[in-house]
Every structure is written in C-alpha cells, then in structure tokens.
Chains A and B, each alone.
Chain A
C-alpha cells in the first residue's frame, strides 16, 4: 500500500493522559499536513511541514499540542493532558512539491477522551 498511513486507527484515553499519533506520508511527498475533524464538520487545519520544517500552525493548535517531522519522512502529533474536547478524528495528508498540489489523506486516527 503506497498511500498515507496513520497509526493507531483508534485511541481511547482518559482525560489528562498524553497521546501520540503517527503519520507516514506517500514516500515522494515533501509536504505533510495535520487536520482535525469533528462529527458533521469539514476537516480543520492544524499544522503543516515542508520536509522537516514546521511552516505553519493554526490557532487551534494550543500549547498542549506538538507535532514533529524529524527526518522529513513520518510525523508525530502529540496531545498532552487530553481534554474531552480533543475527541475527534485526526487526519494526516501529504502532497508533492510547492504548488497547490492535491493533498492525499490517510485513514485518520479517531481519538476518544473519556
């Protein structure tokens, strides 16, 4: 499978715990994006990387959220001290080049905070 992959697919955690998600983009894609989607809404942008550099972060990304892409390949998104409002689908996407090339999405990680 050469598409975008994400792990885990589902995560249930208790409020206050830390969680980390992983995204593996399509191999030749140098841009990687994180989005969050809640029920009945379109995805909302969180952050993106070009190679290993994090170039933009949304105001939605509070200081409890951190993302890394250490070698310009896979990326991790960590949420510290989770809150019930963090329950959502976390989607990763990747694209090629520096133009407005179409983004290809992974299957997402569904987070439930109890």
Chain B
C-alpha cells in the first residue's frame, strides 16, 4: 500500500527561526512529489519535485527531493507568523492518472 509520512506532525517555533519539514514516501512507480501550504482554506501549491538533488526555491522556502532515500524536505528560513499553516506533502505515481496521495501534514505554528 502506498504510504506518505510527514514529520513532525506539529511544530512550534519563534519568528526568525529556520524549520525543516520532512516527507518520506513508499510508493511504486513514483513520478513526482508536491508540497502545499494549507491555512484555513484550500491547499496552495508550493513546489513540484521530479528529479533528485535539484533544489527548488521560492523566497524563504526551498525544497529538495532524494529519490534514492525516498524523502523530501521543505525548509523555511527566517520564519514569520504568516508561515503558520499546515504543510502537506503529496506524491504522484506514473500509473495513477495524476491523483495525489497526501501525507497527514505538519502543523507549523510561528509565534511572534
């Protein structure tokens, strides 16, 4: 059975801290891994990673995929209170018609 596991499930930090969120996966026919941010509404797209070792970056957020060890990390530097959200990791399989299989998410709380 396909599995996507995120850790930690929750994290509380202070503004300015750097955080690393983890996502490991066990799926057959892996194609891509996606990160989403979810506040009290719909998930918003952050990154899609298909190739190992290539960092994707957007402002203070960055992410990288390791297809050998089957995991990805999402880094957020200089955190702000607006980064407080649930961060979701999802995988797409070659044979799945692009359906996303999500992990449980990491609840990040950034305190001022």
Chain A interface residues toward B at CB < 8 A: 4, 31, 33, 35, 40-45, 48, 50, 55-56, 91, 93, 95, 98-108
Q: How far is the CA of A48 from the CA of B97 in the complex (A)?
A: 8
Chain B interface residues toward A at CB < 8 A: 4, 31-32, 34, 36, 41-45, 48, 50, 88, 90, 92, 96-105
Q: How far is the CA of A33 from the CA of B101 in the complex (A)?
A: 12
The residue of chain A having its C-beta at the shortest distance from the C-beta of B9 within the complex is: A40
CB-contact partner of B42 in A42, A100, A107, under 8 A: A107
B43 engages A100 (CB within 8 Å): no
Q: How far is the CA of A45 from the CA of B34 in the complex (A)?
A: 15
B102 engages A56 (CB within 8 Å): no
Q: How far is the CA of A19 from the CA of B48 in the complex (A)?
A: 34
A43 engages B43 (CB within 8 Å): yes
B42 engages A106 (CB within 8 Å): yes
A105 engages B43 (CB within 8 Å): yes
A39 → chain B closest CB, angstroms: 11
